[in-house]
């Protein structure tokens, strides 16, 4: 096929529309007026003899043909972007920028000391700004360009054009006050169920992974409080008979801070939690953000959980 008469800008238009799913957002990103964008979209539809993107109440919805094309077209566009990026000045370490990371206080504790130290050394004009990710993926912040990376262990139903990378896999431990009379020996299921518990809840829902696991066994426990922080509740259970089932690194951190706290594995089989970092396609080839993601991955690899 002769490609000299093909308009490759239409492929870029396709990738932007597929990522944004909105004519308004795409027009801003492409710096085009709505009529100009509509004209180009019509050319794109004629080129591939398909509607490709259909208006819905929530924006644009890709047709089956668009979904079939997306992986290859978006891959081609990213490769071309990367080619041009490599021909530019790569001195991104000396340019001012802000990196916005949405995560939890637990992840901040794990990575911020080392990440900030590395950024100060290599990219002193770059600022790291973290925000609470809440109970789910910050889709609006991603789409508005206000989030560069999101890190947590509970993201579900990611858009298929987003990127994700596994960082670590953590188990659960039960944290308790050392003088708790119910925990002087190995914790059994009946003692665990008959105790009172506190939980971390970023959404206000007290029915967490432990409760769902117990429900499958036809059992339940008493949860008397929930907090939005992963790091506050270890303080709450001191000098009490309350229990906190939390990720192993949180339990280890608490016992290292307070010698009156102890932990042991839970008396039931709980699923592990996979920590991951997620980012929008628009930042996939950005050299600074690519470097930041690599540093986060390295930092997680150096964290030792004993």
Give Dmax over CA atoms of the chain in angstroms.
81
**Chain center to CA of 146:** 14
Measure the CA–CA gap between 40 and 27, rounded to whole angstroms. Answer: 11
pLDDT, one tens digit per residue, over 284-297 is 988 899 999 999 99
**What phi and psi values does residue 8 have, to the nearest 5 degrees?**
-70, -15
Measure the CA–CA gap between 134 and 147, rounded to whole angstroms. Answer: 13
Helix (H) or strand (E) holding 288: helix 287-302
> Contact, 73 vs 50, CB < 8 A?
no
Domain 92-165+277-302 CATH (choose: 3.40.50.150, 3.40.190.10, 3.40.50.10800, 1.20.1250.20) = 3.40.190.10
> Contact, 192 vs 268, CB < 8 A?
yes
Task: Name the strands in the sheet holding 196-200, side by side, starting at the edge strand that comes first in the sequence.
Answer: 222-227, 196-200, 243-247, 172-177, 261-264
Q: Following DSSP, what letter does each residue of 213-240 receive, concatenated?
A: HHHHTT---EEEEEES-TTTHHHHTTTS
Domain pair 9-86 / 92-165+277-302, same fold? no
Measure the CA–CA gap between 194 and 133, rounded to whole angstroms. Answer: 33
User: Domain 172-264 in CATH: superfamily?
Assistant: Periplasmic binding protein-like II (3.40.190.10)
> Contact, 234 vs 199, CB < 8 A?
no
pTM, two decimal places = 0.71
Residue-range domain boundaries for the chain: 9-86, 92-165+277-302, 172-264
9-86 is a CATH 3.30.300.20 domain = no
Burial degree of 149 (CB within 10 A; 0-12, 13-18, 19+): buried
| CB neighbour list of residue 141: distance below 8 Å, 6 or more residues apart | 100, 102, 131, 147
> In Å, how far are 54, 123, 152, 169, 277 from 9, measured between CA atoms?
20, 34, 36, 42, 31
**pLDDT digit string (tens) for the chain, length 306 residues:** 556 678 888 999 999 999 999 988 889 898 889 888 889 999 999 999 999 999 888 889 999 999 999 989 988 888 888 777 665 656 788 889 999 999 999 999 999 999 999 999 999 999 999 999 988 899 999 988 899 999 999 888 888 889 999 999 999 999 999 999 888 888 999 999 999 999 998 888 888 899 999 999 999 999 999 999 999 999 999 999 999 999 999 999 999 999 999 999 999 999 999 999 999 998 998 889 999 999 999 999 988 665
Tokens of 200: 């971390």
């Amino acid at each position: 096929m002769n490609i000299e008469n093909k308009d490759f800008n239409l492929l870029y238009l396709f990738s932007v529309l597929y990522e944004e799913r909105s004519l308004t957002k795409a027009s801003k990103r492409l710096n085009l007026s709505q009529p100009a964008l509509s004209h180009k979209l019509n050319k794109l539809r004629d080129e591939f003899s398909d509607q490709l993107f259909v208006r819905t109440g929530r924006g644009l919805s890709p047709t089956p043909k668009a979904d079939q094309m997306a992986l290859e077209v978006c891959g081609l566009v990213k490769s071309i972007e990367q080619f041009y990026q490599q021909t530019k000045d790569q001195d991104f370490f000396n340019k001012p920028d802000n990196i916005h990371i949405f995560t939890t206080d637990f992840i901040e504790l794990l990575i911020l000391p080392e990440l900030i130290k590395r950024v100060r050394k290599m990219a002193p004009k770059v600022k790291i700004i973290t925000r609470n990710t809440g109970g789910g993926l910050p889709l609006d912040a991603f789409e508005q360009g206000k989030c560069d990376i999101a890190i947590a262990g509970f993201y579900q139903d990611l858009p298929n054009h987003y990127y994700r990378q596994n960082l670590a896999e953590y188990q659960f431990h039960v944290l308790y006050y050392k003088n708790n009379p119910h925990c002087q020996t190995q914790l059994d299921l009946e003692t665990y169920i008959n105790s009172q518990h506190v939980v971390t809840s970023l959404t206000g829902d007290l029915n967490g992974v432990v409760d769902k696991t117990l429900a499958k066994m036809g059992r339940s426990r008493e949860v008397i409080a929930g907090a939005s922080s992963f790091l506050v509740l270890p303080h709450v259970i001191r000098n009490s008979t309350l229990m906190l089932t939390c990720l192993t690194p949180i339990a280890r951190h608490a016992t290292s801070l307070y010698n009156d706290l102890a932990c042991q594995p839970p008396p039931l089989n709980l699923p592990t939690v996979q920590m991951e970092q997620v980012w929008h396609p628009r930042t996939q080839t950005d050299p600074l953000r690519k470097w930041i993601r690599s540093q986060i991955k390295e930092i997680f690899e150096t964290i030792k959980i004993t």
